[in-house]
Amino acid sequence: MADQKAEGNSNGEGRTEELMSECRQILYSEDTEIHSMLQSVVDLIGKVDKRLTVIEKNTSSLEKLDAKMTSLANRVTSTEKEVKAMREKVQDIEKSVEAHSDYYDDVKKSVEEVGKVVKVAEESYKTLKINQISMKDEIEKLKKECREAKERMLEAQSRSMKYNLIFYWD
């Protein structure tokens, strides 16, 4: 019976609990035949060896998986550091953009104020130009009146002198 179980699970894929149960049956059985008992023990040791081989393969796979997980954890840590650095750079860029925006707003405000001053200056210039033209016309008018007054005065002096002429003959 023990031989049949040993042959049935000879592929080493049985569960450890089943192997332990089989070992207990063999050790505590009433079968007194030493040869069959030794054969059963050898078979069980073979099964345990196969089971250990499977476990070692799984352990190797677990070690590989652990190495991959460690590598992945390192990459995640590295990526987190890079993301943190990028966030800091983005914050610096945002601050820079905000400063540029404030500067732009100040420049825009200054340009608007200069534009208002220029408009006032243009209006003043137009008013001065109009006043200059009207003053020029007024000056021309006054010059004309002054000439006419001089001509009348000269004419009056000439008439006055005409009658006041005294001739001396010697």
What does the domain layout of the chain look like in residue ranges?
2-160
d(CA 132, CA 159): 40
pLDDT in tens, 32-63: 566 677 777 778 888 888 888 888 888 878 88
3-state secondary structure 84-149: HHHHHHHHHHHHHHHHHHHHHHHHHHHHHHHHHHHHHHHHHHHHHHHHHHHHHHHHHHHHHHHHHH
pLDDT in tens, 93-117: 999 999 999 999 999 999 999 999 9
Give pLDDT, residue 168.
Answer: 63
Cα 88 to chain centroid distance, Å, stands at 9
pLDDT in tens, 11-20: 445 577 777 7
pTM of the model: 0.43
d(CA 149, CA 161): 18
